[in-house]
Structure 1
Amino acid sequence: MPLKAHRLLTAALAGIVLATVAAAPGSAAPAAAERTSKAESRRVDAVPTPRLGWYKCYDIAECATAQLPLDYDKPKGATTEIAILRVKAKDQKRKIGSLFLNPGGPGGSATDFALFAPYFLSDSLLQRFDIVGVDPRGIGASANLRCFKSVKDQTAVLDLLNVPFPVTKTEEQRYVKGSKQLGRACSTTGRPLAGAMSTAEVARDMDVMRRAVGDRKLNYLGFSYGSALGQYYANMFPDRFRALAVDGVLDPTDWVGSTREILDQRLRSSDGAYRALIEILKRCDKAGEKFCVFAGGDPVKNFATIARELRAKPLELPDGAGGTITVTYAVFVSAILGSLYGVDAGQVVTEIAAEVWAALRGGSTAALTERAREARATKRGYDFPYQNGFEASSAVICTDGRHPADAGLWPAATARRDQQAPYFGRAWGWIDSQCAHKTWTVQDEDAYRGPFTRRTAAPVLVVGNFWDPATNYRGAVTSSRLLPNSRLLSSNNWGHTAYGSGVCATTAIDNYLLTGTPPAKGTVCTDSVQPFTEPLPPAGEATTLSSPTGKQRPPVATLIPESVLTPQQ
């Protein structure tokens, strides 16, 4: 679901320089760019260029499918159907080429994302590029992964995982049991597709589809997990792209990891979320009650009190239909985590905290109940038809990386993470428990595990924002250091990813994609909206925010615990 639009701040483009810096006289010549390896060339170039039977779809787009090898080592063997959608450039005479998009997840539909592109991409990109989405194998409109024979079988397992994240020992035992059953199902019923969904396979598919749309070089913009796909492509095909931008960045070496650490221990998503939360609470305290609804007393201590009280006893709210809405500790934390995804994170986080604080102290529950009702209305169960989102994301995570052996190790590991990053260590820590390699046994023998340090022919733009609660800013910094020919663009915006959060970052990314020239080294965008800079509106009056870019924010897909207090993204 698109995030709220936000108010335009001034001084957006100050400090942005888009010209490359010439080498100083007498300096050493730049190192030569690397080429696609012979092994990778053999794999993808052996596949004939698909003839796409485009047809008009969704009023504004064209759709097609292609049959691509399940195993690129066997180009004439079994295939899987891959879906592609494009929204054609408005100025076909001056078209640069195609811009491939990926919304992240893993498991997000790139065809849906491309279809929505007119609402979040700048007009300059829509004019000059055909906007293309290729659904990763197993996902979206591509041939779907199914780890269970029926919705009934699937439901029996997902019921064991039906909490935002486990907290009590009973919940942990159920979650471990469900994780093991999911791993076994995807390793048996889910074969062979579950063993052919690594990010490397998606990168190979994208290279073949680049040829299919007639582009000599790839243009790419990837968000969140899509940053991993972009970095895989850059390292596997270092001479085959013109411009490649990644926003909300995962360090690919941490993504691959080792069998000694759970995924969050490597990516440190929970660290980023905790850092953002504490910064909001401290700024709230400093701004005072005129600017922040949760400023009474000590916001950091009061937040900890809410968490402690909910762990001891959940809050029961009437749902208005004769039933109740239960706000547990995990529901509250996942609601806060979900709220950190928006550029209005400061406002929403403190509103939820203030509403729960009041309810726990016998105050009005009207606002909190209405919030829960709205969130519940956006959610759907896992009934008919078969929904494979969790299985699809798991297949990518589990085949890309190395994971500990037994799901029974996760309770202790997530508890340690929760000590290091309070509230969010468990919320992020459980996302890969199904990948324990004793029970998730299907693997992709052609998964790419590095190197991630190839010198590319064209520069890569790596974009990170300081307060990202999912892809820790640290990932953008380390990823930019891995790639010799890359440029780091930093932003002070709140929420997940930077594009659309302010004019500075959005324009810098646009200009790079249009020209191939990255922003000046060391560019930091500081024009994004910040929390608690304007007084609270009068009681009963909603805050109205306008978009800094005139567009909505990209509907980035990511793995986030669901809550009955926050709308589904």
Structure 2
Amino acid sequence: MPPHPLRGFIASRRRHAAVVAAVMICSTAVTGQDGAVAGGAPSVPAPQLHWSPCVQDSPYDCATAEVPLDYGNPGGRSIELAVVKRKATGPGRRVGTLFFNPGGPGGPGTVQMPQNYESFPREVRERFDIVSWDPRGIGSSTAVNCFENPEAAADWAAGKPAGFPVGEKERATFIAAYEDLVRRCRQRDPELLSHVSTADTARDLDQLRRSVGDPQLTYYGISYGTILGATYANLFPGKVRAMTLDSNIGPGAWTNDASDDARLTTFLRVGSDRSAAATLDTFLDLCASTTTARCAFSAGTPEATRDKFDRLTERLRKEPVDTWTYARTVADTVNSLYLVSGWTDLAGRLQELWQGRTPEPAPFPPAPPVPDPSPYLGEEQAAAVLCGDSPNPRDAGAYPALEEASAARAGDAGRFWTWATAGCTAWPTSPDRYTGPWDRRTANPVLVVGTAYDPSTAYPNSRAMVEELADARLLTNEGYGHTALLNPSTCVQEYESRYFVDGTLPPVGTTCRQDTPPFSAPEPSGGVATGGGGMAAVVS
């Protein structure tokens, strides 16, 4: 779900390496446990995967899977899924295939799995082939693309405010831009738009499982990938071997408890505004407690550093620094809280703005050795999934009041997160969105990982995931940033490895800590000082 290091969504978010649904079938046919469609329709054959090196000398193999556009009509139009694999490295017996979804919605797995491969626990890399894919509608798969050419897409993006709208004039421009986007999308490929739900992707995932020959699914989903995992677990409960859901979205928050009458946006239900505000406060507190050599924005005390941030944003409202407006700066700040490793760079950009200088944007990660390391990832791709699946207010006039209410409880972060789904006002609802139930008994228990200071998927969502699934265990990561995968904890990784390899769950109430605290000093050897990783079973 929400943005990066998963793919970001509608509110002009900068993408990070990594970035992050579920669905009761509202159509007449329901996919069965082994790819068959209930009601007498023929079984859908598993796609054939013809693996070959993605590019010359690449350690990754690529393939293309052909699947039905509509599982209720498997003999109709087919679409293609771009798939990537890194073989188990050994030593030790290979266990099977681990499928990975990097979140979003809209995260291209063919890019983000290779970018983040080294973040997977060592034993997982040794014992599993790791496979990811661009979900239907995304990236290098059959993709939602509502523009004639890249120039038209760039012109559309440049025509709306960066970050989120400020003031009545910008709000009108912002809403009009997304109404125009929906019109374009309806004209280009309305049939595809109707079949990019999370439920459709869960069915694709089961087809991929069958293609690699695994009798049950082993899966790792982060952010939006947790909703995909929960959906799969309830559509195919007997096929769950092991499933880790990291940085969760509460299923009831995603579906608005199965109601279409949405008075709050998806991310306000998830609590992203409050969580981002709490993480920002912690960023400023920790910045203040160290030296300016480690955090350039420090003003010496937490109070002074918070005041400095408030004065900076107020000043940018009146006088931007080049293209760095108030809204762009807030969006950059919230997005940059995702990766603790980027907090020092964020502090440097804020200090540059404080001094009236134009900062350098955060760098993009290096391109992985795959055929298309930079596929088209227009905002319509994420919107097609999120807006189709998760109810949001249909009246654009409701957003200013929601913004003020969120700002009252979460400050600047509330403004950012309120407008993140404004593009959904005119978007068609998916005919196949899944709304539950979420409590179907799975063949094996699910491991749920939640991070305390997560600027996107608030920690209470992980508790909600455990409560709503039939059989799940919570592992708490006392740390910062979005996902434990991308903000590593040796403790979390060791528990995940044991669970993936042999199904052993952490004890009830287990809490881990992050390896590297924010603003850590480099060690003389060039390494990084650690801060409390390792196995630690703490009963909460």
Shift of 1:197: 0.5
Q: Which residue of 2 aligns with 1:56?
A: 53
The alpha-carbon distance between structure 1 residues 152 and 470, as it changes in their structure 2 partners (threshold 3 A), is same
| Structure-2 change in CA distance of 1:545 and 1:273 (3 Å) | farther
Which residue does the alignment assign to 2:385? 396
Which residue matches 2:334? Answer: 337
The 1-side partners of 2:131 and 2:386 are apart by 24
Paired letter, 1:389: G
Aligned partner of 2:299 in structure 1 is 295
Amino acid in the other structure paired with 1:256:
T
Write out aligned runs for 1:37-436 (5 A): 39-41=30-32, 44-45=35-36, 46-58=43-55, 59-91=58-90, 94-116=93-115, 118-257=117-256, 258=260, 259-285=262-288, 293=296, 294-296=298-300, 298-315=304-321, 325-344=322-341, 347-357=344-354, 359=355, 365=357, 369=358, 371-372=359-360, 387-436=376-425
1:212-249 residue CA offsets vs partner (Å, 9 max, x unmatched): 11000000011111111111111211110110001111
In 1, distance between residues paired with 2:430 and 2:529? 43
| Partner deviation per Cα, 1:292-313 (whole Å, 9 max, x = no partner) | 5413362222221211121122
Cα deviation, 1:516-553, whole Å, max 9, x if unaligned, reads 1211111111243334665x99xxxx99653869xxxx
CA contact (8 A) 1:200 1:232 kept: yes
Percentage of identical aligned residues: 34
Q: For residues 357-416 of structure 1, what are the alpha-carbon distances to aligned partners after superposition, in whole Å with 9 as ceiling and x for unaligned? A: 3x15xxxx4xxx4x426659999xxxxx98343111110101111222233432332232
Structure 1 residue 355: Cα displacement: 3.6
- Structure 2 unaligned residues grouped into runs of 5+: 6-28, 37-42, 368-373, 532-540
Return closer, same or farther for 1:543/1:405 CA change in 2, 3 Å cut-off. farther
Cα pair distance change 1:463/1:303, threshold 3 Å? same
- Alignment counterpart, residue 546 of structure 1, candidates 528, 531, 540: 528
CA distance in 2 between partners of 1:545 and 1:329 (Å): 36
- Between the aligned partners of 1:287 and 1:42, the Cα distance in structure 2 is 54
| Change in CA separation of 1:272 and 1:345 when aligned onto 2, cut-off 3 Å | farther
Shift in alpha-carbon separation, 1:93–1:342, aligned structure 2, 3 A: closer
Shift in Å at residue 90 of structure 1? 2.4
In our comparison, the structure showing a higher alpha carbon Rg is 1
> Given residue 296 of structure 1, which amino acid in structure 2 is its aligned partner?
G
Measure, in 2, the Cα distance between the counterparts of 1:134 and 1:290.
Answer: 41
Task: Report the RMSD for the aligned CA atoms in angstroms.
Answer: 3.0
| Mapped partners of 1:339, 1:388: distance in 2 | 20
Q: Residues 190 and 478 from structure 1, CA distance in 2 versus in 1: closer, same or farther, beyond 3 angstroms?
A: same
Q: Is the 2:449–2:484 Cα contact (8 Å) retained in structure 1?
A: yes
CA distance in 1, matches of 2:338, 2:236: 32
- 1:440 counterpart residue number: 427
Question: How far apart are residue 80 of structure 1 and its match?
Answer: 1.0
Match of 2:32, SS state, is helix
> How big is each residue's C-alpha offset from its partner over 1:434-482, in whole Å with a ceiling of 9 and x where there is no partner?
211xx323x4322211112222221111111111111111211111111
Cα deviation, residue 132, structure 1: 0.7
Change (3 A) 1:91 1:55: same
Question: Which amino acid letter does the alignment assign opposite residue 331 of structure 1?
Answer: R
1:467 matched to 2:470? The reply is no
Indicate the residue corresponding to 1:503 in structure 2. Answer: 490
Greater relative contact order, per chain length (Cα 8 Å cut-off, separation 6+): 1
Residue pair 1:195, 1:444 contacting (<8 A) in 2 also: yes
Describe the shift of the 1:182–1:307 C-alpha distance in structure 2 as closer, same or farther (beyond 3 A): same
Partner of residue 458 from structure 1, selected from 428, 444, 468: 444
Q: How many angstroms apart in 2 are the aligned matches of 1:326 and 1:93?
A: 53
Give the Cα–Cα distance (whole angstroms) in 2 for the partners of residues 483 and 229 of structure 1: 13
Report the counterpart of residue 556 of structure 1 in structure 2: none
Question: Which amino acid in structure 2 is aligned with residue 313 of structure 1?
Answer: E
C-alpha separation in 1, matches of 2:282 and 2:106: 31
SS in 2 for 1:229: helix
Alignment-derived partner of residue 502 in structure 2: 515
State the alpha-carbon separation in 2 of the partners of residues 342 and 386 from structure 1. Answer: 23
User: Displacement, 1:184?
Assistant: 2.3
After superposition, the C-alpha distances for 1:477-503 in whole angstroms (9 at most, x for unaligned) are 111111131011111222111125221
Pair 217,411 (structure 1): closer, same or farther in 2 beyond 3 Å: same
Could you tell me whether the CA contact under 8 Å between 2:345 and 2:362 is conserved in 1?
no
Q: Secondary structure at the match of 1:105?
A: coil
CA distance in 2 between partners of 1:544 and 1:352 (Å): 24
1:117-148 Cα shifts (integer Å, max 9, x gaps): 54222331122111111220011221121223
One-letter code aligned to 1:39: V
Q: Cα offset for 1:177?
A: 0.4
Amino acid of the residue matched to residue 462 of structure 2?
A
Using structure 2 for the length normalisation, give the TM-score: 0.82
* Letter matched to residue 360 of structure 2: A
Cα deviation code 1:307-354 (max 9, x no counterpart): 112112223xxxxxxxxx332111221222132112246544444444
Would you say the 8 A contact 1:107–1:389 is kept in 2? no
Gaps of 5+ in 1: 4-37, 316-324, 380-384, 550-569
Contact 1:187/1:440 (<8 A) preserved? no
In structure 2, what is the Cα distance between the partners aligned to 1:306 and 1:459?
Answer: 48
The question of whether the paired residues in 2 share the 8 Å contact of 1:464 and 1:491 is answered with: yes
Please give the alpha-carbon distance, in whole angstroms, between the structure 1 residues aligned to 2:227 and 2:175.
27
- Once structures 1 and 2 are overlaid, which stretch shifts more, 106-115 or 466-475? 106-115
Q: Say how many residue pairs are matched.
A: 484
Q: Decide whether the 8 Å contact of 1:264 with 1:429 is kept in 2.
A: yes
* Post-superposition offset of 1:262: 1.5
Verify the 8 A CA contact 2:299 2:308 in the aligned structure 1: no
Task: Confirm or deny: 8 A CA contact 2:161 2:170 kept in the other structure.
Answer: no
